[in-house]
Structure 1
Amino acid sequence: MNYTYGYARVSTQSQELARQLDILEKYQCNKIMTEKISGTKADRPQLNKLKESVREGDTVVVESWSRLGRSTKDLIDLVDFFSMKKVKLISDKENFDTTTPQGKLMLTVFQAFSQFERDLIVERTKEGLKSARARGRVGGRPKLNSKKVKQAISLYDTKQYSLKDIREMTGVSSATLYRYLNARKTNHYDQ
């Protein structure tokens, strides 16, 4: 059996969901998930629960795109997510339904924009690396001075210094120190 899920969200606790819920009711949703949380929050528990609940053939209804996505990119990613799961997506305000010819066209446009954004990020990264190399810089993590690492380990082994003290004296971060200490335990690092 396929389910129809409604999703409604307002940005603050003082705002009301009634208008959105009235719209979602006409779609005879089996379950309506609601949130009172800012759209700028990446972690929206009810939306996450919705994403985990939907199955192929289900339908998700929203009052408008602004209730679903935090940004254009987020909205495109969500539309893409539901599309990949073969979940029908309906936005009442925009009169968007992914099963109609117009909806399929818009879905194709959304996916093209998503791919375009990914391609731009790759292109900018390559350009940035090329520019850095032209100035004599190489990408990646800076190389650690093995003497500094050995010094940090020795200081740690004395049990007289805090991690902050060791970091200030050697420039070796706590995470790096622990990585080398763990490697030492498993005999992957010799002093």
Structure 2
Amino acid sequence: MSRRSGILEFAVLGLLRESPMHGYELRKRLNTSLGVFRAFSYGSLYPCLKTLVQRGWLIEEPSSPPEADLEREARSAALAGRRAKIVYRLTADGKEHLEELLCQTGPDAWEDEHFRVRFAFFGQTSRDVRMRVLEGRRSRLEERLAKMRASLARTRERLDDYTLELQRHGLESVEREVRWLNELIESERTGRGRGATSPDPSDDTA
């Protein structure tokens, strides 16, 4: 299983723990709540859902519209040649598997895309796991900062003004995220953890 498909499976299981959804709702939540999936399409989502069903982590159920709408919806679906919407629900085995994933704190959880998804589900994660993931992420970024500063020092004289400015911008973004992580770690240590509600300053969309 590739790292990217693993992140998608984790996100789908996490969202379905909140409530059952059909494919369109899932795709919308992936796009709006978890920005790393903005480029994902139905072509990526539905094979993932099929795999999770085959593994016994999800079940498929027909949606249940209000009784008054049943006949109208059935007629419309028949005319359009469409099947009824399928709702995906987390199974007991799926919940157990998600719990295992939520407890993982290894290096994969510190990488850019995986960390963002893990952070989005911190509300479902225990405090000690949150601490290990946050500290691991900070360690990874501190290593990245050291390499970026060393590279900038070596190449500064050979860079034009625009390339140099871009390098500085990247450096400042990482420094800002390290400060943000320090604040989160301190909040967790003092029992004031903010979970997944705090904005991520590394998401520089300004």
Q: TM-score, normalised by structure 2?
A: 0.27
The structure, 1 or 2, with the larger RCO (C-alpha pairs under 8 Å, 6+ apart) is 2
Decide which structure has the larger Cα Rg and report it. Answer: 1
- Structure richer in helix, relative to its length: 2
Structure with a larger share of its residues in strand: 1
